[in-house]
Structure 1
Amino acid sequence: MPPNSRTTNTTTNSRKLKILMLHGYTQSGPLFQAKTQRIKKLLEKSLGSVPIKTSPPITGIELFFPTGPFKVSSADLNGAEVREDANGWWKLRDRGEKQEGVEIGIEQVAKVLKEHGPMDGVMGFSQGAALAAMVVSLLEPNRKTAFEKVKGGMAFPESIAELQHPPLQFGVCFSGLLNKHEAYTAFYEPKIQTPVLHVLGSMDTIVEESESLALAERCADGGEGMVIRHAGTHTVPTSDRDIAAVIRFIRNVYPSGNAPAKKDDEEDVLDMDMPF
């Protein structure tokens, strides 16, 4: 498949919305896939009922769930028990410190983008959300120049420089946070221009709201309209109304993304408050 082509169904002259899904720390691709089944189901219903009017139109969804390259052991969590398939995108260090292995995590993502891309967008949870924002940034035009201007910062990843991948259309960060160390300045300065939705849990005690808002502030469109809160803890929301807000955001990224549907179609397909 050519690097800048999209997966197209030649029979119906349509294509699928391709989203990279990045799990949180101590999770895995398959586990994150299980935790986001509700999102997939409602996106499929939405797109099947009312395609996004791109050329060709988007009528379905294809999600990709890679697993982070670092195994997480009990020793990494001060002796706490961990799942057998616990993984991370980098070795976790204290907040604000330079993290270990960020380049390796990015390289893992680059492999997926090269093999299955181009992607339309990315969704991530917790550490995966931090990485999602970084990937969105890296794929923007002229971001490499920003890295070259920061003395002593992280070098622009070679794995991304070698890609022929267009900018992403959107990002969704569930319980996201900012990598605050000065080594990562170029990811956030200048601000991320790609639309990014930030989804916060009102009872999240793992990632504080201030940390997620700090990431939102590094996005050009990171005002309150791009921050939504659900009633849960440190988790991906599963309620129809919360997922509806995510779908609304994705549709709004595309011209005519919220094409009107018949009233009975709206109720029959989603049975929830949607923007069409």
Structure 2
Amino acid sequence: MLKVDSTYLKAGRGQTSYIDVMGSTGDLPETRRKPRFLCLHGFRTSGEIMREQLAAKWPDQILSRLDLFFPDAPFPAAGKSEVDGIFPPPYYEWYQYDKDFMVYPNLDKAFARVEELMIEHGPFDGLMGFSQGAILSVALAGLQCKGLALTTVPKVRWLVIMGGAMFKAPEVAERVYPSKIDCASLHFIGEKDFLRRNGEKLLEWFDDPVVVRHAKGHTVPRLDEDESIERVAEFLRKIEDELAPGDAKIAINASEEGICAS
């Protein structure tokens, strides 16, 4: 049975939760730390909701190999949440958008808030995001490549994207996305996800993205098939191989390393 121990810390307007899964760490050597991911939840949900979803849907053999941190977005939900009645409030959103998904109020504030969280609670090796959190994660990795965001924190080396997509507004896309994003990436794409086509397009921005497909829609995916579990486990093995024993620091200024193509 999956055992989850949550510790809550004050972060901004909401609460922040850690996930600490007790159990076997698989083939991860005891002298090597777990990769740390900052987890960005979906639109009008919360860090605690994302934590609960992963705890319920991902097996111990995967979660036990990760150090995950779940903050709340900076803005209280400005409307009804799709998870109302499934998960209790409060609900939060990272930024807002118009009906055509072309205008994004408070987007720059969302970028700034994530950097604050990485400074306050890092260092982090990567970003994990679902839906709006996934869109934000990819955008931040792209901006960091260009030296336009996350300039005071270590390079984002790995991305885990669930139900991801790209910004539609041309002026935002041109600003955010380089020709390639130099991060190893794992993408979950649902066959019935209304963002599936956009999520497929997103793959073009990465070299050798790892893709796990599932039959569901726009949801945090359930990881319960041997093939998908093995694909995720292999992605984690590659991360573990790159993390030196006791490694806790990475170059602070990503732009110094020439990490992406502009």
**TM-score over 0.5 (shorter chain):** yes
CA drift at 1:127: 0.6
Q: Displacement of 1:13 after TM fit?
A: 4.2
Is the 1:66–1:109 contact (alpha carbons within 8 Å) kept by the matching residues of 2? no
Shift of 1:238: 1.8
Q: Distance in 2 between the 1:134 and 1:40 partners? A: 28
Q: State how far apart, in whole Å, the 2-side matches of 1:195 and 1:94 are.
A: 32
> Which residue number corresponds to residue 52 of structure 2?
34
1:234 corresponding residue in structure 2: 218
User: Aligned in 2, Cα 1:176/1:44: closer, same or farther, shift over 3 Å?
Assistant: closer
Q: 1:67 corresponds to which residue?
A: 72
Query: Which amino acid in the other structure matches residue 238 of structure 1?
Result: R
**247-256 or 178-187: bigger deviation:** 247-256
Distance 1:171 1:256, change over 3 A: closer
Are 1:104 and 2:109 an aligned pair? yes
Q: Which amino acid aligns with 1:193?
A: D
User: Gaps (5+ residues) in structure 2?
Assistant: 1-29, 244-262
Q: RMSD in angstroms over aligned alpha carbons?
A: 2.7
For the pair 1:119 / 2:124, whether they are aligned, the reply is yes
- Which letter maps to 1:187? V
Q: Conserved in 2, the CA contact under 8 Å of 1:139 and 1:166?
A: no
Q: Pairwise mapping of residues 216-231 of structure 1 onto structure 2 (< 5 A)?
A: 216-222=203-209, 226-231=210-215
Q: Please state whether the residue corresponding to 2:205 is helix, strand or coil.
A: coil
Q: Secondary structure at the match of 2:111?
A: helix
Question: How far apart are residue 75 of structure 1 and its match?
Answer: 6.7
Which blocks of at least 5 consecutive residues in structure 1 are unaligned? 1-11, 48-60, 145-155, 258-276
Q: Go from structure 1 to structure 2 and tell me whether the alpha carbon gap of 1:243 and 1:235 turns closer, same or farther (over 3 Å shift).
A: farther
Partner of 2:198: 211
Q: How far, CA to CA, are the matches of 2:144 and 2:155 in structure 1?
A: 5
Q: Spell out, residue by residue over 1:188-208, the C-alpha distance to the aligned partner (whole angstroms, 9 max, x if none).
A: 122211112221111223x2x
**Structure 1 CA distance, aligned partners of 2:33 and 2:206?**
29
**Deviation of 1:21 (Å):** 0.6
Q: Which residue of 2 aligns with 1:250?
A: 236
The 1-side partners of 2:204 and 2:181 are apart by 9
Name the larger-Rg structure.
1
CA distance in 2, matches of 1:252, 1:26: 33
The aligned residue for residue 175 of structure 1 is 163
**CA shift at 1:42, angstroms?**
2.5
Could you tell me how far apart the structure 1 residues matched to 2:70 and 2:176 are?
23
Q: Does 1:18 align with 2:2?
A: no
Q: Is the 8 A contact 1:96 1:180 kept in 2?
A: yes
Per-residue deviation, 1:232 = 1.6
Q: Which amino acid aligns with 2:95?
A: W
TM-score, normalised with respect to structure 2 = 0.70
1:231 partner amino acid: A
Which portions of structure 1, spanning 4 or more consecutive aligned residues, are displaced by more than 6 angstroms? none
How far the C-alpha of 1:185 sits from its partner, in A, is: 1.5
Query: In structure 1, what is the Cα distance between the partners aligned to 2:142 and 2:237?
Result: 21
- Cα deviations across residues 178-232 of structure 1 (Å, max 9, x unaligned)? 0121223232122211112221111223x2x11111222222334xxx3221122
Give the Å deviation of 1:84. Answer: 3.1
Q: Residues 141-200 of structure 1, C-alpha deviation per residue, up to 9 Å, x if partnerless?
A: xx12xxxxxxxxxxx34xx33x1x221221011010101212232321222111122211
Residue 25 of structure 1, CA deviation: 0.4
Q: TM-score, normalised by structure 1?
A: 0.67
Counterpart CA distance in 2 for 1:40 and 1:132 is 23
Aligned residues: 208
Distance of 2:240 and 2:34 partners within structure 1: 14
